[in-house]
Amino acid sequence: MKSVVISLLFMSLLLPASVALSAPPKSEANALAVKGTEAAKNRQWDEAVTDLRKATEMEKKYARSLVAALLGRAATYAAQQQYQEAAADYDEVIKLEGKNTTALEGRASMAMKLNDMDKAVAMYSEAIKADPKEIRYLQYRSYIYEVKGDLKNSMADTEKILKMDKTNADALARKARIEARQAQAQSEQLPPLPQPQASPRG
């Protein structure tokens, strides 16, 4: 019995040490975060993202720093016309912060560059949900709808813009274009007017 008690006591002393070994110390996560933040300041985006991603995996509190680094790298990729790479970074931000409007708008912009208009509409729709008062997101979505030939939804967004800003030049111009196209489409659908019959000759 005594040997069992001694062995249990011995195991209980070992347990905290084994747990400590399995979990990364907080100082390691902090060191990675500091290193990543410094790299971000120097615009060394790959290093910054790598270090901050590791820090975030250890401690979620560093996620905001990782988001900032990912947004910085995405903007750099976009400026270099590396649209796929930028889109991937924006996607990672959206996984971390679903309502991050900078990432949503950036992802929508990359979708437009990649000619994926459905994805662009989806991303601007999410941005509108996150910030319904931001006219810019409605303007872009109404533009995409117009390009796609979806005049009904383009007009609906345009009307929403004009409710918030009745003098918005972009919305007023789009409304005029849509109304002209709708009128033309309607006239093309009307049956042709009957041709006048030739008068009989005497």
* Of residues 105, 102, 95, the one with CA closest to residue 63: 95
- Which of 1.10.287.3510, 3.30.590.10, 1.10.540.10, 1.25.40.10 would CATH assign to domain 26-131? 1.25.40.10
Q: What is the 3-state secondary structure (H, E, C) of 24-40?
A: CCHHHHHHHHHHHHHHH
Domain boundaries, the chain: 26-131, 133-186
Question: What's the pLDDT tens digit per position in 102-145?
Answer: 999 999 999 999 999 999 999 999 999 999 999 999 999 999 99
CB proximity list for 52: less than 8 A, separation 6 or greater: 32, 33, 36, 37, 40, 62, 65, 66, 69
With b for 16 or more beta-carbon neighbours within 10 A and e for fewer, the 113-137 pattern comes to eeeebebbbbbbebbbebeeeebeb
Lowest mean per-residue pLDDT among 24-33, 99-108, 130-139, 184-193 = 184-193
Question: What's the pLDDT tens digit per position in 156-186?
Answer: 999 999 999 999 999 999 999 999 998 888 8
Span 82-91, average pLDDT = 98
